[in-house]
Amino acid sequence: MVAITGVTLTSVNTPRRGGITCGHIIVELLTDVDGLVGVGEMSDLQHLPRYHVDVPELERTLTGLLAGLDPLALTEGYRRLEASFPQAEHIYDKSRAIKTGVDTALWDLAAKRLGIRVADLLGGPMRDRMPIAYPIFRMQHEDDVHRRLDVVADRLADGFQWFRIYVGRRLDLDERFLRMARERFGDQLRIKSLDFSNLLDAKAACRFANRVSDVGFDLVEAPAPARDIRGLAMARQQLPVPVSEHVYSYRWALDLVAADAVDVFNVSVIAIGGITPVRRIFAIAEAAGTPCLIGTTQELSIGTAAAAHVAMAMPAAVLPGDPVGPLLYTADVVRRPVTYVDGHLTLPEGPGLGMEVDPERLAAIEGPLTWAHTSATAATDRTAVVPS
């Protein structure tokens, strides 16, 4: 019988093209078969709250949990993870990042052990690519409007059609950008969503969305404070377009369905804690008849590959998704990053996730996780700190 013998964690730091540097932890599950290694990723840890885990101690803890486990024992592996890292019902809880990295590596390892893709292990791909909504990050300064317009122009030239527009910090700049973008790009620009990121109360979010409704967008995301289910339900009643919200626990998914509070689930591997719990969320969505989009925290290629395999295999994942991290970061850790063709994320080839860690690339960006040169606002809005 093949067995897991240990866990190796490597922390890395990757700058984004927008200026902020994000920390990640690359997971490698070692086995007693030479060359059989499962890989995963604890992605984009530069989210609130502002602390990082003790990586060497976590490595010892995870090795103690998983050593001796059969790579095909996915249910038992996740049972052990949930027992030690329970759901905290918060989208940026550190436990969910830990579980995501390890559970993804378990799925990668199991699929490699069988010589198949993760998507095949999930039941088989229903599609081979997913349209991607490129993120336009929140505007805080006057100069941001023209910078963001230039980003849209560049991405349209690259073949992207869909965009997700972050709003809610400076509504005057948000409106200016939206109107200028529509005037400049016309119907060539397809706005998947206005993403409020839970920054505004539902009334304020609805007022703004209604004021700019003539610009044209398909969804409104997170138009109420976190866990404000009444606010979401109110927004759903008032807005002329569907409302989506991130799903970060089983209970939250059930509550959203029971309250009839949203039209769309935003489901991401990182937000729920891995591929195993993502399957459970999709089961809830399918039972409720709720369509889903694949969300993101913006992962490197390993985490993005996990999202791709899920997106291709889940019937309810019918809307344009968000994972575009490999195009945002200036470095990666794999030999062959995931690929985007005409604004679509494609399903990686090869067994498991289809990702192979490049030791040289990994070593080039390895380093301790840090919160230096970061502020709470920069962490929320994914921007560099502006010198005072």
Any idea which residues carry the catalytic annotation?
A: 92, 166
Residue 138's Cα: distance from chain center in Å?
17
Say how far apart CA 331 and CA 88 lie, in whole Å: 31
Q: In what order do the strands lie in the sheet with 162-166?
A: 133-136, 162-166, 190-195, 219-221, 243-246, 264-267, 292-294
Say how far apart CA 303 and CA 43 lie, in whole Å: 7
Helices 142-157 & 171-185 angle (0-180, nearest 10): 30
Give the containing element (helix H, strand E) for 260.
none
Cis-peptide into 348, omega within 30 deg: no
Backbone angles phi, psi at 220, to 5 degrees: -120, 130
Alpha carbon distances (Å) from 278 to 114, 246, 266, 313: 21, 12, 11, 11
CA end-to-end span of the chain, whole Å? 60
Residue for token pair 């990686």: 348
Provide the token pair at 177. 């950008």
Give the containing element (helix H, strand E) for 195.
strand 190-195
